[in-house]
Structure 1
Amino acid sequence: MAAVTRLLKPSRFSCSAATVSLRRWLSTTAVSETEPHVKTPLYPGGSPPLRADPEGRNVQWVFLGCPGVGKGTYASRLSSLLGVPHIATGDLVREALSSDGPLSRQLTEIVNQGKLVSDEIIINLLSKRLETGEAKGESGFILDGFPRTIRQAEILDEVTDIDLVINLKLPESVLLEKCLGRRICSECGKNFNVASINFKSENGRPGISMAPLPPPPQCVSNLITRSDDTEAVVKERLRVYNEQSQPLEEFYRLQGKLLEFDLPGGIPESWPKLLEALNLDEHEEKRSAAA
């Protein structure tokens, strides 16, 4: 696949340019909820901003996949392996939820109903995160949770060059059990999963087994369930994803950037195969040998 051969190839962009472009989008776009067939230009006059062309830019990847598929887990591991920031819009939303003010109350209502957060809110949170990263000298990123719609993907295409889009896939029955088994430590903030998943093969599909990801003893008494991890909300989130976000697969497939990856099981089974699919298995071996 052409996208995979470009994995570690720098392309033309800087976080600073992204931040300026996203801020410009926030200040100029005015998409009407009551006129869904009217497409507002992404930029005044329909022209994108000039892009920077710095040397040595790190990878800029996107993770796609249904809620609960494991985007955060694998994006975080690749972030550590490649030395680029993992930016999860879900985490950005949860941070905003934990704050005080009108935005927190607005997000609480949206999340509890299993709906997608608006483009304006997500892009505002993302542009702030990019500004913070720029101040720290970050280069490149792995996006997790954005874009979720073709509209968002079009905006992203106007402000940056995405190298690769990794689409993680699991059967919906597995996704439901995974989401219902998720737990968070209220003290350290780490994620765990108490579900023991074992689906037998059927209709030509291989079976899938995933062992629990238990917390250490000091976290056991502090485990909490996310407010949006109820069966009704999870099913609604999956429905919304399938309805609104799956067209993204075709959008990126036509660009030659989509890498589809069916998770064969839990982390021990899936991680080595994902690295192999990304041509990064030797990269991991060299890093382990140097450690």
Structure 2
Amino acid sequence: MAALTRLSKPSFTSLSSVSRISRCLYSGIAPEPSSHGASPYSPRLGPKPNLSVKDPKDRNIQWVFLGSPGVGKGTYASRLSNLLGVPHIATGDLVREELAASGPLSKELSEIVNQGKLVSDEIIISLLSKRLEAGGAKGELGFILDGFPRTIRQAEILEGVTEIDLVLNLKLREDVLVEKCLGRRMCSQCGGNFNVASINVKDSNGSPAISMAPLLPPPHCMSKLVTRADDTEEVVKHRIHVYNEKSRPVEEFYRSRGKLLEFDLPGGIPESWPKLLEVLNLDEYKEKQSAAA
């Protein structure tokens, strides 16, 4: 826990959670929570925040990504990490790295992952602490966390040691999630992540139709694609069930603190990425970065 402890920022205990977010990220005053108790930052439920992201050298962004398995947290967190110049830390990657290392935890983790269960708080916090300590030694500042916290206990631990600015909750219909997970592939040589699923789901029960083109690898990776051991239909559906049971309360944890921004993915990356930048008020920031490149 030492590395986690060193993340602590100055305390703003005299300010409300909304005011603390404003101090970190917003150029204007954040809207007051609605009378229905919904997050004021949800583009579906209220006005979006007036986000004004400063140069990463002037501001250490500390964001959390939530969302069901397969929703695309890693994809969008990685893109924002590159755009904003802060490290993307995915606890799923930390678990897979530990599995590949064949260390003392490898066998235990293999059984947990292959059964679609959640890794214990103790193991996740230990792996995350090691990652943060290594990043701190390299001079990393800020982070975008992906896959943590997944439980109320983890959220409380994180809240006790650092100030999370924004929690982005990516949402996608369950039938699409299952198709996406079953289409995931990884190159056994370069480690690149791809998806062979071509998704075209018609509108149903008020949900809009969704189309997602496959994310195919370059030709030299095509023959080296492998499927993750835990990406079977039974395990995928179980993982989504476990997420709904264990992690949905985390959404309410951050919603009650005025930090949750819910974003319904309208489709694949070409459709969703520009809309996400717009919701985060990063479209102009991206243009400036491109012009300077």
TM class by shorter chain equals 0.7 to 0.9
Match of 1:148 in 2: 150
Q: Is the alpha carbon distance of 1:56 and 1:172 closer, same or farther for their aligned partners in structure 2, counting shifts above 3 Å?
A: same
* Alignment partners' CA distance in 2, 1:160 and 1:241: 24
| Equivalent of residue 81 in structure 2, options 75, 79, 82 | 79
Match of 1:196 in 2: 198
The equivalences for 1:271-286 within 5 A come to 271-286=273-288
Q: CA deviation at 1:203?
A: 2.2
Match of 1:97 in 2: 99
- Give identity over the alignment, percent: 77
Q: Secondary structure at the match of 2:65?
A: strand
Q: CA deviation at 1:289?
A: 1.3
Structure 1: 5+ residue runs without aligned partners? 10-54
Q: CA deviation at 1:288?
A: 1.1
The equivalences for 1:10-49 within 5 A come to none
Contact 1:87/1:144, CA 8 A, preserved across alignment = yes
Contact 1:192/1:213, CA 8 A, preserved across alignment = yes
| Equivalent of residue 184 in structure 2, options 182, 192, 206 | 182
Q: Deviations over 1:73-117 (max 9, x none)?
A: 000000000000000000000000011233000000000110000
Match of 2:238 in 1: 236
* Alignment partners' CA distance in 1, 2:138 and 2:267: 36
Match of 1:114 in 2: 116
Contact 1:4/1:278, CA 8 A, preserved across alignment = no
* Alignment partners' CA distance in 1, 2:95 and 2:25: 29
* Alignment partners' CA distance in 1, 2:229 and 2:158: 30
Structure 1 range deviating more: 174-183 or 276-285: 276-285
Match of 2:223 in 1: 221
Q: CA deviation at 1:202?
A: 2.2
| TM-score relative to the length of structure 2 | 0.81
CA RMSD between the two structures: 1.6
Q: CA deviation at 1:201?
A: 1.4
2:280 is aligned with 1:251: no
| Equivalent of residue 133 in structure 2, options 122, 131, 134 | 131
Q: CA deviation at 1:57?
A: 4.2
Q: Secondary structure at the match of 1:282?
A: helix
**Greater than 4 Å deviation, 4+ residue runs:** 1-7
Q: Deviations over 1:21-47 (max 9, x none)?
A: xxxxxxxxxxxxxxxxxxxxxxxxxxx
| Equivalent of residue 164 in structure 1, options 159, 163, 166 | 166
Q: Deviations over 1:136-194 (max 9, x none)?
A: 10000000000000010000000000000000000000000000000000000010000
Q: CA deviation at 1:205?
A: 1.9
* Alignment partners' CA distance in 2, 1:196 and 1:69: 15
* Alignment partners' CA distance in 1, 2:138 and 2:105: 26
* Alignment partners' CA distance in 2, 1:91 and 1:160: 22
Letter in 2 for 1:199: V
Contact 1:86/1:143, CA 8 A, preserved across alignment = yes
Q: Deviations over 1:10-31 (max 9, x none)?
A: xxxxxxxxxxxxxxxxxxxxxx
Q: CA deviation at 1:6?
A: 5.5
2:71 is aligned with 1:69: yes
Q: CA deviation at 1:61?
A: 0.2
Q: Is the alpha carbon distance of 1:5 and 1:210 closer, same or farther for their aligned partners in structure 2, counting shifts above 3 Å?
A: farther
* Alignment partners' CA distance in 1, 2:288 and 2:102: 46
Q: CA deviation at 1:7?
A: 6.1
* Alignment partners' CA distance in 2, 1:116 and 1:204: 31
Structure 2: 5+ residue runs without aligned partners? 1-16, 27-56
Letter in 2 for 1:126: L
Aligned length: 246
